[in-house]
């Protein structure tokens, strides 16, 4: 009985042929709207510059499918929203597959080949699965509505930090309307689908093949019983069914037609964005193509097709807005708003049939869709936005490309301009003579090898702050003593080393960066060594991820990995244990940029300290505020600095004694913030190297003369 061909649903049951034709006319019109909209979107992306992300397509596709099936980017740091989205996503996908299966049989297989399969057991299981899918969809949508309406999350209110309320571009109520229209349309499609199912059951309640199998559509059956309970007859159910059928059908067709023109398109753009994600986005910035006359983005058509795709992939979830340290301290920057402004501008200019001549990115103008210069300079290039974005939007490369344009036009803070000139002249940001680069080593009781003259096992790339800043020089000397005590064969480039260029590049001064990178690559290539070590995460990042694009591929380690191995192998003997209660600040360029989360923590535990994590740690660490060249740009007087914000976070840890850092710039930023935020005397800021040094007892002078391994 249960496999009878009579157990099925008759499509368009009791409809006049004219009504069926009319429905098909609407259906084709919806598909035509969808195709045209998709064509204009693709035309828009094709108006962007090329991007070389086409390699390993199969691998990219599999990775994207895995990301979508696991929802791993959506559940991070917001499990409830991620799970609600999963209900909507899987419910929607199953309902879409179900509708496609019906179309396949009704419009193709049966009329052309006489093949039928949508009946009996298959039909019953199909009904059950789609019923549950509809339920999941509605449950997810209700939670999303609850979140928007009652939780009133700041990240969803679209308040702009870069515009004043009186600015015509401040108001984003159209976004809110679009969000609600999206949620209501989907929920109405779901609810009317269930009521339609129930009305059909009541209408055909005399038919045993329909009524006796109703529990395979449990939600529809429950509503059908409710309808009968309130006295609905088969006749009134039949009338209700016809009206609802048209409402439900036309709403669903409108939804399809509007996909390319509304937020709904994120179904496709977010998937494509995930598929073309660059795992090194922001860690390795794009080179200026040899045939390009000027660096950076001047017009909207300078963006690559992938950048334009990212603008459309943004779902306005606000996660980047919430994670951004600049936004957290009141700077006029929200990574979400940068993306949305550019999206508005791209849509205004690139959706037209003819490409307009003036599609310039106006950094001074107040026109809608423009990103202000102050906004671009507020960025710390900390990657918090890129890292948390669930749909793989890559904000930082776009921001840096726009900064390149500002630098070319000389639109920057005087101090920054002066620092760049200083680096150009002296090769370091302190304006010191090259010969003084290793002056910190002169009081050491042992000689450090010159790696330019003799082979070494480890070549130590020191970096500007560790070389010239007096407070950091103490740490640098302590690290030299540790390496020497462990019998490591190491050496320096001395005056052959220049600023590594990481922050120069993130400022947008690409010409100077190329000069610094190629000079350092030349110096390093002239030496004989096994690997590079550095105490500076900024140098670590650019040498590791960016120098290969300029012909310099070197193995490089952050000192925390080297010291951890030395302690584990017994080469570095800790003479005493510490019992401090400490917290650890992940430097952006070590942690988020290069996943170096564990080695510093392991060392802290080896030292005997009790590690208490701050709320924001590891990939969610909070930038000290120095990145992206911001160490060379003064913060506005009277405003909170990211480093002060971080001090407050550490300050709530009961009994905290030491705030541990492992980056020279962090040491500078946080020691300053400790004083200005009122925590001086409550706890201290220390480099991890200083804690290790405290566990050492240098009884005798060991001269660094170990042979190359």
Assess 85 for contact with ligand SF4 (CB under 6 A).
no
| 367-372 long-range Cβ contacts below 8 angstroms, 24+ apart | 367/169, 368/168, 368/169, 368/341, 368/344, 369/169, 369/341, 369/342, 369/343, 369/344, 369/345, 370/341, 370/345, 371/162, 371/338, 371/341, 371/342, 371/402, 372/162, 372/332
Burial of residue 48 (CB within 10 Å: 0-12, 13-18, 19+) is buried
564 lies in the binding site for ligand SF4 (CB under 6 A): no
Please state the closest distance from residue 678 (CB atom) to ligand SF4, in A: 25
Could you say whether residue 400 binds ligand SF4 (CB under 6 A)? no
Q: Among the candidate windows 74-82, 331-339, 489-497, 599-607, which touches ligand SF4 by CB under 6 A?
A: 331-339
CB atoms within 10 A of CB 117: 14
Residue 681, exposed/middle/buried by CB under 10 A (0-12, 13-18, 19+)?
A: exposed
Using CB atoms within 10 A of its CB, is residue 672 exposed (0-12), middle (13-18) or buried (19+)? Answer: middle
Build a one-symbol-per-residue string for 629-668: x at contacts with ligand SF4 by CB under 6 A, - elsewhere: ----------------------------------------
> Does residue 393 bind ligand SF4 (CB under 6 A)?
yes
Binding pattern for the stretch 339-358 against ligand SF4, x by CB under 6 A and - elsewhere: x-------------------
CB 604 within 8 A of CB 636: no
d(CA 440, CA 464): 12
Among the listed residues 84, 227, 320, 572, the single contact to ligand SF4 using CB under 6 A: 320
- Sorted by sequence, the CB contacts under 8 Å of residue 420 that are 6+ apart come out as 407, 504, 507, 509, 512, 632
Q: How far is the CB of 585 from ligand SF4 (least distance, A)?
A: 15
Rounded Cα–Cα distance for residues 360 and 310 (Å): 19
Report the alpha-carbon distance of residue 408 to residue 299 in Å, rounded: 14
CB of 506 to ligand SF4, least distance (A): 9
Determine if 544 is a binding residue for ligand SF4 (CB under 6 A): no
Pick the binder of ligand SF4 from 44, 248, 284, 316 (CB under 6 A): 316
- Listed ranges 301-309, 311-319, 506-514, 590-598: which one lies at the site for ligand SF4 (CB under 6 A): 311-319
Q: Closest separation between CB of residue 509 and ligand SF4, Å? A: 17
Q: Is residue 336 a contact residue for ligand SF4 (CB under 6 A)?
A: yes
Which region among 75-83, 379-387, 516-524, 570-578 touches ligand SF4 (by CB under 6 A)? 379-387
Nearest approach, Cβ of residue 80 and ligand SF4 (Å): 16
Contact indicator for 360, 405 with CB cutoff of 8 Å: no
Integer Rg of the chain from CA: 31
Q: How far is the CB of 278 from ligand SF4 (least distance, A)?
A: 15
Residue 380 sits in the site that holds ligand SF4 (CB under 6 A): yes
Q: Which is nearer to ligand SF4, 194 or 597 (CB)?
A: 597
Q: Which of 7, 317, 483, 689 binds ligand SF4 (CB under 6 A)?
A: 317
CB closer to ligand SF4 out of 310 and 481: 310
Contact segment (CB under 6 A) with ligand SF4 among 70-78, 322-330, 633-641, 643-651 equals 322-330
Nearer to ligand SF4, 381 or 499 (CB): 381
Query: Could you tell me the CA-to-CA distances from 446 to 432, 480, 531, 689 in Å, in that order?
Result: 24, 9, 22, 19
Min separation Cβ 140 and ligand SF4, Å: 17
Cα separation, 313 vs 263, in Å, equals 9
Summarize as ranges the residues that interact with ligand SF4 (CB under 6 A). Answer: 314-320, 323-326, 333, 335-336, 339, 379-385, 388-389, 391, 393, 395-396
């Amino acid at each position: 009985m249960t496999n009878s061909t009579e157990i099925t649903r008759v499509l368009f049951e009791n409809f006049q042929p004219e009504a069926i034709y009319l429905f098909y006319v609407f259906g084709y019109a919806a598909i035509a709207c969808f195709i045209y909209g998709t064509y204009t979107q693709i035309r828009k992306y094709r108006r962007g510059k090329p991007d070389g992300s086409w390699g390993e397509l199969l691998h990219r596709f599999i990775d994207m499918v895995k990301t979508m099936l696991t929802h791993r980017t959506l559940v991070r740091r917001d499990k409830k929203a991620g799970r609600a989205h999963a209900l909507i996503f899987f419910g929607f996908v199953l309902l879409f597959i179900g509708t496609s299966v019906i179309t396949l049989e009704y419009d193709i297989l049966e009329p052309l080949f006489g093949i039928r399969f949508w009946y009996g057991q298959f039909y019953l299981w199909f009904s059950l699965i789609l019923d549950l899918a509809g339920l999941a969809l509605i449950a997810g949508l209700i939670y999303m509505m609850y979140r928007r309406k009652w939780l009133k999350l700041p990240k969803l209110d679209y308040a702009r930090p870069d515009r004043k309320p009186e600015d015509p571009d401040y108001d984003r109520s159209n976004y809110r309307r679009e969000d609600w229209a999206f949620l209501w349309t989907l929920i109405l499609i779901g609810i009317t689908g269930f009521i339609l199912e129930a009305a059909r059951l009541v209408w055909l309640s005399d038919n045993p093949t329909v009524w006796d199998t109703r529990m395979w559509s449990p939600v529809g059956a429950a509503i059908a019983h409710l309808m009968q309970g309130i006295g609905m007859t088969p006749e009134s159910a039949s009338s209700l069914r016809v009206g609802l059928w048209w409402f439900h059908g036309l709403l669903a067709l409108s939804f399809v037609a509007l996909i390319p023109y509304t937020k709904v398109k994120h179904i496709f753009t977010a998937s494509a964005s995930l598929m073309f994600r660059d795992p090194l986005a922001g860690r390795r910035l794009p080179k200026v193509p040899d045939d390009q006359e000027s660096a950076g983005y001047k017009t909207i058509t300078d963006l690559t097709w992938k950048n334009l795709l990212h603008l459309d992939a943004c779902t306005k979830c606000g996660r980047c807005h919430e994670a951004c340290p600049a936004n957290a301290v009141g700077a006029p920057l929200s990574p979400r708003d940068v993306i949305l402004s550019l999206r508005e501008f791209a849509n205004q200019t690139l959706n037209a049939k003819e490409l307009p001549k003036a599609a310039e990115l106006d950094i001074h103008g107040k026109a809608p869709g423009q990103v202000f210069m102050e906004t671009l300079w507020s960025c710390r290039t900390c990657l918090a936005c890129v890292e948390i974005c669930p749909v793989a939007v890559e904000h930082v490369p776009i921001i840096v490309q726009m900064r390149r344009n500002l630098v070319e036009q000389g639109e920057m803070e005087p101090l920054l301009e002066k620092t760049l000139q200083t680096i150009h002249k002296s090769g370091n940001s302190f304006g010191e003579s090259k010969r003084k680069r290793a002056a910190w080593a002169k009081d050491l009781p042992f000689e450090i090898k010159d790696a330019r003259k003799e082979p070494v096992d480890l070549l130590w790339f020191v970096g500007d702050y560790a070389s010239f800043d007096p407070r950091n020089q103490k740490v640098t000397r302590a690290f030299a003593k540790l390496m020497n005590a462990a019998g490591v064969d190491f050496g320096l480039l001395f005056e052959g080393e220049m600023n590594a260029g990481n922050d120069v590049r993130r400022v947008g001064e690409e010409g100077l960066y190329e000069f610094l990178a190629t000079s350092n690559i030349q110096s390093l290539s002239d030496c004989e060594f096994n690997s590079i070590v550095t105490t500076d995460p900024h140098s670590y990042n650019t040498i590791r991820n960016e120098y290969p694009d300029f012909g310099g591929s070197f193995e490089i380690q952050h000192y925390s990995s080297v010291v951890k191995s030395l302690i584990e192998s017994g080469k570095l003997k800790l003479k005493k244990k510490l019992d401090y209660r400490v917290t650890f600040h992940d430097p952006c360029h070590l942690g988020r940029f290069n996943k170096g989360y564990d080695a510093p923590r392991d060392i802290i535990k080896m030292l005997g300290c009790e590690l208490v994590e701050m709320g924001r740690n590891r990939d969610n660490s909070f930038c000290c505020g120095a990145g992206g060249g911001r160490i060379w740009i003064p913060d506005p007087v009277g405003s909170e600095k990211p480093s002060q914000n971080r001090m407050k976070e550490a300050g709530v840890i009961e009994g905290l004694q030491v705030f541990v850092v492992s980056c020279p710039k962090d040491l500078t930023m946080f020691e300053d913030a400790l004083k200005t935020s009122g925590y001086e005397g409550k706890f201290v800021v220390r480099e991890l190297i200083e804690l290790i040094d405290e566990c050492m007892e240098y009884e005798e002078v060991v001269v660094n003369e170990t042979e190359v391994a």
